[in-house]
Amino acid sequence: MTQTGDTPKIELRGVKKRFGSKVVLDGIDLVLERGHSMVVIGGSGTGKSVMIKCVLGILKPDEGKIFVDGQEVTRLHGRAREAVLRKFGMLFQGSALFDSLLVWENVAFGLIQGRGVARRRARDIAVEKLAKVGLGSEVAMLAPSELSGGMQKRVGLARAIAADPEIIFFDEPTTGLDPIMADVINDLIVSTVKDLGVTTLSITHDMASARKISSRIAMLYKGKIIWNGPTEEIGTSGNPYVDQFIHGRAEGPIKMEVRS
CB 181, min distance to other proteins, A:
20
Q: Is 125 in the site for other proteins (CB under 8 A)?
A: no
Q: Is 89 in the site for other proteins (CB under 8 A)?
A: yes
* Residues in CB range of 94: below 8 A, 6 or more apart: 176
Nearer to other proteins, 14 or 114 (CB): 114
Bridge partners (DSSP) of residue 33 are none
Encode 215-226: b = buried (16+ Cβ within 10 Å), e = exposed: bbbbbbbbbebe
Backbone phi, psi, residue 181, to 5°: -65, -35
* Part in contact with other proteins (CB under 8 A); list of ranges 16-24, 68-76, 94-102, 120-128: 94-102
Q: Is 93 in the site for other proteins (CB under 8 A)?
A: yes
* Part in contact with other proteins (CB under 8 A); list of ranges 14-22, 78-86, 126-134, 237-245: 78-86
Cα 7 to Cα 30, 32, 129, distances in angstroms: 13, 10, 30
If we measure between CA atoms, which residue out of 92, 52, 90, 86 comes closest to residue 69?
86
Site map (CB under 8 A) of other proteins, residues 139-178, x = contact: --------------------x---x---------------
What is the rounded CA–CA span in Å between residue 198 and residue 238? Answer: 31
Among 27, 35, 92, 228, binds other proteins (CB under 8 A): 92
Nearer to other proteins, 58 or 118 (CB): 58
Q: Is 85 in the site for other proteins (CB under 8 A)?
A: yes
49: three-class secondary structure by DSSP:
helix
Q: Is 98 in the site for other proteins (CB under 8 A)?
A: yes
Identify the H or E element spanning 244.
helix 240-247
Among 109, 170, 227, 245, binds other proteins (CB under 8 A): 109
Site map (CB under 8 A) of other proteins, residues 30-69, x = contact: -----------------------x--xxx-----------
Nearer to other proteins, 71 or 236 (CB): 71
What is the rounded CA–CA span in Å between residue 173 and residue 193? Answer: 14
Identify the H or E element spanning 24.
strand 22-32
Backbone phi, psi, residue 109, to 5°: -55, -50
- In the complex, the residues that contact other proteins under the rule CB under 8 A are 53, 56-58, 82, 85-86, 88-90, 92-94, 96-99, 109-110, 113-115, 159, 163
